[in-house]
């Protein structure tokens, strides 16, 4: 007999997690609590309640986490200009620590012994969910059905539903997109099917959020973003909440063909995987944030942030959001953002995000110093001679000793 009496399941209401509800009931003889998170995936989440009730679930949690997701996870990540392996804006990765946090909160509220998720044994999400859960509740038990059962195809899952009277719309299940997809307010991802061949170009009708650059408007769209302490707070002078702002940027960016990426990435579990991503709002935010930092941050602070960013990105990608090292890096990043205030003007045109202006009361740009015209003595060009000779000193000494670089 299992020692697990109650388990909290991250539940979407789809085929996989519907099977998991019954599978947990059958194999562990436990009560199942379902948790469905609205993080802006663009699909109605309330139907999950009726599906869970039909399977005998008594405790059902459906939470709107959109504002918390953007405010407490997406924006802090963008303060670091975070990008994994030069291309991936971490749309899936950054959602997992929030879901793990809420799973543990519900486990504490309901007295559950374990949590469960529908991530497969091949991917990164199992690591992200479980590392987060263990960091927040060390003694929690984790049940990962994909690592235990032998239901390894959509057909076998559907047959399991038929044999156990699990309420699933089989017609819609068969018509489901051939891709494995994940969506939230930051992005939508596509994996599997023909994308498993890295040489195959994605079909145009795969993309959901953006038009192709070829069919984007011939007239550019101009937008202005206001930043306070490193976070965007308004678009075109209109103050917006974090989730509303990101949703708005997704729409205007997608309408201009912004934010598509086709990547072969290195998963934490060891394999390479090909994925396609749409991140219109995030692509705009990254460009705008770097632009306002270029005006307001000290040179060495900027360079240090750039050196730290790949490590920070890897921590998020690999599931270490709740680790002490990520929190330490976040404290340093946040400390740098107090002066990152001002406005950035951008031109969106056929897939491109082009910075065309930036201004800030905290600007370190000195026109008197930088001008090519007469600077009235603001900068003594003769000072550069000694500066150059001092910086060349070690190389001059080495060359005199016969250590020529040629």
Residues annotated catalytic, as ranges: 16, 96, 125, 180
Q: 389: helix, coil or strand? A: helix
**190 and 276 in contact (C-beta within 8 Å)?**
yes
The DSSP H or E segment spanning 156 is helix 154-163
Q: Which tokens is 339 given?
A: 């002066």
Q: Taking the chain, what is the end-to-end CA distance rounded to the nearest angstrom?
A: 75
Rounded to 10 deg, the angle between the 280-296 and 242-255 helix axes is 110
Helix (H) or strand (E) holding 250: helix 242-255
Under 8 Å between Cβ of 167 and 54: yes
Give yes or no for a contact between 354 and 346, defined as CB atoms under 8 angstroms apart: yes
Q: How far apart are CA 243 and CA 67, in angstroms?
A: 5
User: Hey, how many other C-beta atoms are within 10 angstroms of the C-beta on 27?
Assistant: 13
In terms of Cα–Cα distance, which of 58, 92, 360 is closest to 226?
A: 360
Burial label, 245 (beta-carbon count in 10 A; 0-12, 13-18, 19+): buried
CA 47, CA 207: separation in Å to the nearest integer?
25
Structure tokens at 327: 């929190």
Contact between residue 250 and residue 280 where contact means Cβ atoms under 8 Å apart:
yes
Q: What's the token pair of residue 343?
A: 């406005």
Strands (E), 177-269: 180-183, 188-191, 221-228, 231-235, 238-239, 260-266
CB atoms within 10 A of CB 351: 19
Query: How far, in whole angstroms, is CA 322 from its chain's centroid?
Result: 15
Q: What is the dihedral of CA 139, 143, 146, 150, to 10 degrees?
A: 130
What is the total residue count of the chain?
406
Residue 402 backbone dihedrals phi, psi, to 5 degrees: 85, 10
Say if residues 51 and 18 touch (Cβ distance below 8 Å): yes
């Amino acid at each position: 007999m299992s020692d697990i009496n109650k388990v909290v399941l991250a539940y979407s209401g789809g085929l996989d997690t519907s099977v998991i509800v019954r599978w947990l009931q059958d194999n562990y003889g436990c009560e199942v609590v379902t948790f469905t998170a609205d993080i802006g995936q663009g699909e109605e989440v309330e139907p999950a309640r009726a599906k869970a009730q039909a399977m005998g679930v008594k405790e059902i949690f459906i939470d709107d986490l959109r504002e918390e997701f953007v405010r407490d996870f997406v924006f802090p990540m963008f303060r670091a200009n975070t990008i994994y392996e030069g291309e991936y804006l971490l749309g899936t990765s950054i959602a997992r620590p929030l879901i793990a946090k809420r799973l543990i909160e519900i486990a504490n509220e309901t007295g559950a012994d374990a949590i469960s998720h529908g991530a497969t044994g091949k991917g990164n999400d199992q690591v992200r969910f479980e590392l987060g859960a263990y960091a927040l509740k060390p003694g929690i038990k984790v049940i990962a059905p994909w690592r235990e059962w032998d239901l390894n195809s959509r057909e076998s899952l559907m047959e399991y539903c038929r044999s156990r009277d699990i309420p699933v719309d089989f017609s819609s299940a068969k018509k489901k997109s051939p891709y494995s997809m994940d969506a939230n307010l930051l992005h939508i991802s596509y994996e599997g099917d023909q994308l498993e061949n890295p040489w195959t170009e994605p079909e145009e009708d795969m993309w959901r959020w953006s038009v192709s650059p070829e069919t984007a408007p011939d007239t550019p769209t101009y937008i202005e973003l206001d930043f306070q302490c490193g976070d965007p707070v308004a678009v075109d002078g209109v103050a917006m909440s974090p989730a509303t702002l990101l949703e708005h940027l997704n729409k205007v960016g997608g309408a201009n063909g912004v934010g598509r990426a086709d990547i072969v990435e290195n998963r934490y579990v060891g394999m390479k995987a090909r994925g396609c991503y749409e991140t219109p709002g995030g692509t705009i935010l990254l460009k705008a944030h770097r632009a306002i930092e270029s005006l307001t941050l000290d040179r060495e602070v900027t360079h240090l942030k750039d050196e730290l960013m790949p490590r920070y990105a890897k921590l998020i990608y690999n599931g270490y959001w709740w680790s002490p090292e990520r929190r330490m890096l976040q404290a340093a990043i946040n400390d740098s953002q107090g002066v990152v205030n001002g406005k950035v003007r951008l031109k969106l045109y056929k897939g491109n995000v082009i910075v065309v202006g930036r201004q800030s009361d905290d600007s370190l740009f000195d026109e008197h110093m930088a001008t090519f015209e007469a600077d009235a003595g603001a900068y003594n060009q003769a000072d550069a001679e000694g500066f150059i000779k001092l910086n060349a000193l070690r190389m001059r000494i080495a060359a005199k000793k016969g250590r020529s670089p040629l």
